[in-house]
Amino acid sequence: MRKQDKRVPFLAACAFLVALVSRSPVADAQTQPWAAGEKLRLAVDVGPLGVTRHSQVPLLGTADILGNGPYDLLVSNRTFLPFEHFTAGGVPVYGQPREFQAPPGSLALITGDEKLSAVVYRDNKVRMAQFDRSNLRFEFSDPRSVEVPGGLKTLTATSLTNNRIAVLFTKGDGKAHGVPGAHSHSAEYRPFNGSGIWRGKLSYAVLGALKLGMDTPAAEVSFPIFPSQRDFLIRCTGLSQVEFPAHEQRGVMGAASQGMFYYFRNSTQNGLELEPAVLMCGADSNGMRHPGIYPSPAAIPDPTTGDSDLLVADTSAVWFYNFSGRFSSRGGPIYDPPVPVLIKDPALMIGALPVLTSGDLDGDRLTDLLSGNDAGHFFFIRNIGTAEQAEFAAPQRINAGGKVVKVDAGYTGIQGPSESRWGYTCPTLVDWNHDGLLDIVYNSIQADISVMLHEPGSNPPAFAPPVVLKSDTMELHLVWRTQPAITNWGVADGPQCIIVNDEQNQLRRYWQVDDYNVTPGEVLRLTTGEPIQAHGKRFAGQFGRTKLQAVDWDGDSVIDLLAGTGRAASLPGPGGIPDDTFEGERRQASVLFLRNAGTNSEPVFEYPRVMTFNGDKLEMGTHSCSPLAVDLGRGQLDLLVGEEHGSVIYYPREKLATVSVGSADASPAVESIPND
């Protein structure tokens, strides 16, 4: 039975915008609450509009597609979300995505005069297209084209007088961002010099404009508009025309990849004369930084004033910014804090590169989910079902020390300043301080194994501020983006043991001393005596990334390991899986089963086996995947996998098996996994 979530509120979801199109078939509610091999959906009627990995394609904008006002949201060159209604707080609610047709190329929408047109940019030419509402199709309205420069990105357009249009764009400044010398996967890669300064260049995206009419053979090009050529550090992730008719203002809003928004006021009503950028502000008149990464803005008119509110997509969700009706003393428009845009019948989406863990976080004896993601947040996903059938509410961001937790790399992140806002949080739930409440032990882009202790009495669960664990009095700084497995090896009152990639990328045990201290233990080994490591020929930023869970997967009362890899991993070492075993399209992030052939007191592991579903290898993309063995009410361990685009896939136990590949003493063979 579906439930209306009364808390629908400041929630966030997930990572790339067309994944919402698919709807999982309904399965037997008592035995299989979700369709096998399909994305989980939320048990709420309306919830946050999550996106799948959305790092390259900006929102196209809003327009009147279906005749319900200029509020339908175009999210790609082929997909739009139909507007349903506004909430009492003014937040738009959308229906499930639909498709429209458009010529190949980059589109910039032009709205107004009850018609919708677009500039289509392809192969250094632009053409005009008109939207046919009866067929939901953009069609070229003029056979002529206009020559324009190449390499144009993040297009937005507006009408001028005399049947002319202006197209705003960004283009790189030509500086190579990468570090000279060794390849970024090499052991000799050195991103920073001895003073801690990035050895590459900090490039900029530069704002430019085209003025054109279809009766002219070439465009009037203004590039750069501003001589400094420093408009957007690293890159611009979106441009949108904005209108403030109640204030007799108009201009362009642009987003930088690091999360800031810049307003370029247009000082003319019918032409294009942009003033230098000022920051979009919050109520305190300080520049407002978006909570996610790669923000992409699209203006949506207020139904009363016509002033531009904003919809902003990132790698996690689509957010709504309400214009306050005020400007700062510097001229920047002031917006209210963002809240999630809503959609009917939402999928569970948590942001790109989700990392899953589970446990009863709210004390109701139901198994909840917790997840990290690429943006550095943690999400509590409350189980609102029953002991026999899990159902999940919309994700809520975790608070620690009274603030929403947001892990950032900062300037010195391993892949450089361009990822300063990334977090790659990788949590594991465990009662770390033995008070009966689940705490969060996690790794991240910072590579510091840290703990957040559960605040007693909090609901939704809240936590104390993060503390980096210490090993031999030093911060437990290892390799990045790994999810630690934690187990007491079956000893109820025994110390907790963290299993995680160490400095050499080998799986090592770290034994708990107290709430904030551990002591290093032994490297885990195969039955052959070889240490288990997670790489073969790739180093630097390809180190780490392993997602581990300690669990008795085969039901023999001995703790095994499940491992999620990226495609560049090689586990248990050179010649391993998947990088050195699979080729071409089969070289993808994989789920591996490492069976403990020893005991809990003296564990040794068999060569990893690849998890299969319906006889096919689980192939989970490029960067990573996060397996979670969990009983969702069926009385046995099923498998959830967080996949890189932000969704969570359900695999029932009876459809899973393992295949042995790559080991020296075994040819490929499939064996069933016991169900008990």
Residue 432 in any domain: the answer is: yes
* Cα gap 76→7, rounded to integer Å: 30
Residue 236 has pLDDT above 50, yes or no: yes
The total number of structural domains in the chain stands at 2
* Cα gap 315→352, rounded to integer Å: 6
Q: Does residue 340 sit in the same domain as residue 364?
A: no
Q: Does residue 511 sit in the same domain as residue 480?
A: yes
Give, as one character, the DSSP assignment of residue 361.
S
Q: Which of 303, 321, 344 is the last residue of a domain?
A: 344
Residue 188 in any domain: the answer is: no
Q: Does residue 390 sit in the same domain as residue 440?
A: yes
> If you average pLDDT over residues 283-289, what whole number do you get?
97
Provide the pLDDT for residue 113: 63
Q: Please, what is the average pLDDT of the chain?
A: 91
Lowest pLDDT segment from 157-166, 228-237, 490-499, 666-675 = 666-675
Range of the domain at 239: 39-179+199-344
What backbone phi and psi angles, to 5 degrees, belong to 106? Answer: -90, 135
At 159, which CATH number? 2.120.10
Q: Does residue 333 sit in the same domain as residue 360?
A: no
Provide the pLDDT for residue 673: 41
Residue 597 in any domain: the answer is: yes
pLDDT tens digits for range 77-117:
789 999 999 999 999 999 999 999 999 999 999 986 678 99
Provide the pLDDT for residue 52: 64
Tell me the CA distances in angstroms from 318 to 16, 118, 321, 350, 428, one per residue in order. 10, 23, 10, 12, 27
* Cα gap 214→360, rounded to integer Å: 63
Q: How confident is the model at residue 331 (pLDDT cuts 50, 70, 90)?
A: very high
At 362, which CATH number? 2.115.10
Provide the pLDDT for residue 470: 99
Q: Does residue 311 sit in the same domain as residue 376?
A: no
Structure tokens at 34: 């979700």
Residue 216 has pLDDT above 90, yes or no: no
Provide the pLDDT for residue 380: 99
* Cα gap 223→225, rounded to integer Å: 5
Residue 442 has pLDDT above 80, yes or no: yes
Q: How confident is the model at residue 32 (pLDDT cuts 50, 70, 90)?
A: low
Residue 16 in any domain: the answer is: no
Q: Does residue 520 sit in the same domain as residue 408?
A: yes
Q: Does residue 365 sit in the same domain as residue 326?
A: no
Residue 301 has pLDDT above 80, yes or no: yes
pLDDT tens digits for range 618-650:
999 999 999 999 999 999 999 999 999 999 999
pLDDT tens digits for range 89-98:
999 999 999 9
Amino acid at 335: Y
Q: Does residue 450 sit in the same domain as residue 378?
A: yes
Residue, of 191 and 218, whose pLDDT is higher: 191
What is the percentage of the chain residues whose pLDDT exceeds 70? Answer: 92
pLDDT tens digits for range 464-474:
999 999 999 99
> If you average pLDDT over residues 251-258, what whole number do you get?
96
> If you average pLDDT over residues 607-615, what whole number do you get?
97
Provide the pLDDT for residue 670: 37
* Cα gap 289→280, rounded to integer Å: 9
